[in-house]
């Protein structure tokens, strides 16, 4: 029987492997290490790289927290009052060069304690896996977006041919900024509430989560290598700061992980490591007709088939 | 009988007077003018000044919107389903110089339509005035904070000796960032749901709103004059960007006006004019012991009596 400790241990190992791969690809920056404890139970390890060669600010966080589920969360999740255990790895990387995309990944496991035999009122199990990876280019590059989505599709297809189309659509819907009527970037995959079913065991769900987690480093280090050597102008840098502003808007207004962190009294500097070193808001900024910036905006919509 | 049209007209005039005063104090920047309409009813005039001599980015917005009250708002306000009319002036000014404080003011009038004879379930009238002014220095200057609070107190005291202490405390509670455990700045006044009572007529409440609105320009232009000539270092500029990051966090996570705007399908560029041209997030930034930055952080708490 797969235990929560095994899952947490594996995730902590993933954090280390990803930090090593990113440091190698960066060729200069080093991740700091902060261990922290949560007064209500559990804790985590926050690893931040600032001012590397390629990465301006990046965080690779591990946490495993437990305690009483706050009422606002149990209500939102339609769960009875209970104790919980949640563990995961969360990553956001902001590069210097506007031609290198921002990336985000989260892989997580959530469990209600004590595990009952039944499941909740809607018949789901009382544990589940969730996660996602999405890419936010400041300038959408079709070859990179296709490479990224193909890699995610290949990972998904090893488990279920329905995963990629389903989880790709879920990402389009989730990584969306309603007040801007634009997606955060070129999407990726998003999934939640993966529990055991007749078709899949808990072990199989965990294998899928592991495969997603292991997809991150080879894909993003390739995108770093391809793009970090490209020259860029002051105008392109300015556009990057504006796109980062949209990233901030998504994370502070809509992101459920951020909200969960704030609502569970999480470590604030770990939660908000996703925010960039520098971001800009210009009133009514509108790209010139025919510009690369305009071309990017036109691609920030749901339903683009990149794979 | 005071009508909503009279109130809206007065507010529109206030917008003009404040823009003129700010342009004069800035000595270079000019406010743009955009009139906009809301598809569900009403509209507004957005006025933005970017890259002035003193003001880096500032907005002075007027709006008068109406229509059906969105369900999420009527629920939050514990109101029955109804039509509404809302008019107000909203201001946020971000200066270049870190020694000039950020300022915010909002004065507003809200009405449920049609006006019934009764009032809502909790016995309140079915219209009300609300508003507030608060000051966010990047570096808290005691003389400026005292000047600012004394001006607000003088305005309040003309109407009711209880207003200033009550509304000052309300501002301390409202302009607070729970996840940082710090106030946004040195506070000011905040009030809401001012309706007619045995003691005060609707006309009297409006006179108070007008007095608050007219307090803005002389107070802030004085703070511009006092501080915009001060030299500043690169380190002080960096600190300003970090403090602006906190401002972004408050506005996107907690501010009810922003939320109301997003929930009522308001004009997004007008709502988010409050966000600065440039903001920064540094992981785990901690001011040096004994520094001016640390002294400021120690003063960002509730209950400081400045007046």
Residue A264 near residue A73 (C-beta atoms within 8 A): yes
Extract long-range pairs of B25-31: CB within 8 Å, 24+ residues apart: B25/B54, B25/B220, B25/B221, B25/B224, B25/B225, B26/B52, B26/B53, B26/B54, B26/B55, B26/B224, B27/B52, B27/B53, B27/B54, B28/B52, B28/B53, B28/B54, B29/B53, B29/B54, B29/B55, B29/B58, B31/B60
Exposed e or buried b for every residue in B263-291, given b needs 16+ CB within 10 A?
Answer: bbebbbbbbbbbbbbbbbbbbeeeeeeee
Name the phi and psi angles at A53, rounded to 5: -75, -45
What value does the mean pLDDT of chain A take?
93
Q: Is pLDDT larger for residue A2 or for residue B74?
A: A2
- Is residue A206 exposed (0-12), middle (13-18) or buried (19+ Cβ within 10 Å)? middle
Q: Are strands A42-50 and B176-177 parallel, antiparallel or unpaired?
A: unpaired
Find the angle CA(B132)-CA(B134)-CA(B136) to the nearest 5 degrees: 160
Q: Is residue B306 part of a domain?
A: no
Residue A274 CA to residue A260 CA, distance in Å, equals: 14
Residue A144 CA to residue A146 CA, distance in Å, equals: 5
Beta bridge partners of B106: B90, B132
Say what the pLDDT of residue A140 is: 98
Residue B209 near residue B189 (C-beta atoms within 8 A): no
Asked if A50 lies within 8 A of B277 by C-beta distance, the reply is no
Q: Is residue A177 part of a domain?
A: yes
Q: Are strands B127-136 and B55-68 parallel, antiparallel or unpaired?
A: unpaired
Say what the pLDDT of residue A115 is: 53
Asked if A282 lies within 8 A of B277 by C-beta distance, the reply is yes
Residue B73 CA to residue B75 CA, distance in Å, equals: 5
Token readout for B42 is: 């009403």
Q: Is residue B97 part of a domain?
A: yes
Model confidence at A73, in pLDDT bands (50, 70, 90)? confident
Q: What is the pLDDT of residues A147-186, one digit of tens each?
A: 999 999 999 999 999 999 999 999 999 999 999 999 999 9
- Is residue A122 exposed (0-12), middle (13-18) or buried (19+ Cβ within 10 Å)? exposed
Model confidence at B109, in pLDDT bands (50, 70, 90)? very high
Whether cis (ω within 30° of 0) applies to the bond prior to B114 is: yes
Say what the pLDDT of residue A45 is: 97
Model confidence at B10, in pLDDT bands (50, 70, 90)? very high
DSSP three-state, residue A65: strand
Q: Which chain B residues are within 8 Å of A52, Cβ to Cβ? A: none
Q: What is the pLDDT of residues B140-149, one digit of tens each?
A: 999 999 999 9
Q: Which chain A residues are within 8 Å of B272, Cβ to Cβ? A: 249, 281
Catalytic site residues of A?
A: 104
pTM (2 d.p.): 0.94
Among the partner residues A48, A268, A281, nearest to B275 by beta-carbon distance: A281
Say what the pLDDT of residue B118 is: 46
| Lowest mean per-residue pLDDT among A45-54, A66-75, A168-177, B129-138 | A66-75
Residues A299, A300, A303, A307, CA torsion sign: positive
DSSP of B13-54: HHHHHHHHHHHHHHTS-----EEEE-TTSEEEEEEEEES-SS
Which ipTM score applies to this complex?
0.93
Q: Is residue B305 part of a domain?
A: no
Q: Is residue B304 part of a domain?
A: no
Site of tokens 């590397």: A52
Neighbouring C-beta atoms of residue A141, cutoff 10 Å: 21
- For the CA atoms of B40, B45, B49, B54, what is the dihedral angle to 10 degrees? -110
Neighbouring C-beta atoms of residue A51, cutoff 10 Å: 11
Residue B48 near residue B36 (C-beta atoms within 8 A): no
Catalytic site residues of B?
A: 104
E strands, chain B, are 34-37, 42-50, 55-68, 83-95, 102-113, 127-136, 176-177, 182-183, 187-194
What domain range is A169 assigned to? 4-299
Q: Which chain A residues are within 8 Å of B281, Cβ to Cβ? A: 57, 272, 275-277, 279
Asked if B59 lies within 8 A of A283 by C-beta distance, the reply is yes
Q: Does B253 touch chain A (CB under 8 A)?
A: yes
Name the phi and psi angles at A105, rounded to 5: -140, 145
Taking 70 as the threshold, does the pLDDT of residue A116 lie above it? no
Q: Which chain B residues are within 8 Å of A50, Cβ to Cβ? A: 282-283
Residue A152 near residue A189 (C-beta atoms within 8 A): yes
Residue A129 near residue A115 (C-beta atoms within 8 A): no
Q: Find all residues with CB under 8 Å of A177, minimum gap 6, and list them.
A: A183, A184, A246, A249, A250, A253, A254
Q: What is the pLDDT of residues B250-278, one digit of tens each?
A: 999 999 889 888 877 778 999 999 999 99
Q: Is residue A305 part of a domain?
A: no
Q: For position A119, which CATH number holds?
A: 3.40.1500.10
Q: Which of residues 9-28 of A touch B (CB under 8 A)?
A: none
Exposed e or buried b for every residue in B219-246, given b needs 16+ CB within 10 A?
Answer: bbbebbeebbeeebeeebeebbbbbbbb
Residue A91 near residue A67 (C-beta atoms within 8 A): no
Residue B40 near residue B67 (C-beta atoms within 8 A): yes
Among the partner residues B48, B276, B284, nearest to A269 by beta-carbon distance: B284
The 8-class DSSP code of residue A51 comes to: S
Domain count, chain A: 1
Residue B189 near residue B152 (C-beta atoms within 8 A): yes
DSSP three-state, residue A70: coil
Find the angle CA(B17)-CA(B18)-CA(B20) to the nearest 5 degrees: 65
Say what the pLDDT of residue A120 is: 47
Count the residues in chain B. Answer: 307
User: Of the candidates A82, A78, A18, which has an alpha carbon nearest to the alpha carbon of residue A49?
Assistant: A18
Taking 60 as the threshold, does the pLDDT of residue A52 lie above it? yes
Taking 90 as the threshold, does the pLDDT of residue A262 lie above it? no
Asked if B50 lies within 8 A of A179 by C-beta distance, the reply is no
Residue A167 CA to residue A132 CA, distance in Å, equals: 8
Q: Does B279 touch chain A (CB under 8 A)?
A: yes
């Amino acid at each position: 029987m797969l235990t929560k400790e095994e899952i947490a241990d594996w995730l902590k190992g993933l954090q280390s492997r990803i930090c090593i791969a990113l440091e190698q690809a960066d060729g200069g920056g080093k991740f700091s290490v902060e261990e922290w404890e949560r007064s209500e139970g559990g804790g985590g390890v926050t690893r931040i790289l600032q001012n590397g060669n390629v990465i301006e600010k990046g965080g690779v966080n591990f946490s495993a927290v437990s305690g009483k589920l706050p009422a606002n969360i149990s209500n939102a999740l339609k769960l009875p009052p209970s104790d919980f255990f949640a563990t995961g790895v969360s990553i956001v990387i902001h590069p210097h060069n506007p031609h290198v995309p921002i990336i985000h990944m989260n892989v997580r496991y959530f469990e209600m304690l004590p595990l009952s035999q039944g499941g909740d009122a809607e018949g789901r199990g009382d544990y589940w896996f969730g996660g996602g990876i999405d890419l936010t280019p400041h300038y959408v590059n079709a070859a990179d977006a296709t490479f990224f989505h193909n890699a995610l599709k290949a990972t998904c297809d090893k488990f279920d041919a329905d995963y990629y189309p389903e989880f790709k659509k879920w990402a389009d819907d989730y990584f969306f900024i309603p007040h801007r009527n634009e997606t955060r970037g070129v999407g990726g995959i998003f999934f939640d509430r993966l529990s055991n079913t007749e078709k899949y065991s808990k072990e199989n769900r965990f294998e899928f989560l592991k495969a997603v987690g292991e997809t991150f480093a080879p894909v993003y280090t390739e995108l770093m290598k391809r793009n970090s050597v490209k020259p860029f102008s002051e105008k392109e840098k300015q556009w990057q700061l504006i796109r980062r502003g949209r990233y901030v808007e998504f994370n502070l207004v809509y992101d459920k992980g951020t909200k969960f962190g704030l609502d569970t009294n999480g470590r604030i500097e770990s939660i908000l490591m996703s925010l960039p070193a520098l971001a800009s808001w210009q009133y009514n900024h509108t790209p010139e007709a025919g510009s690369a910036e305009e071309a990017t905006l036109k691609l920030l919509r749901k339903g683009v088939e990149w794979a």
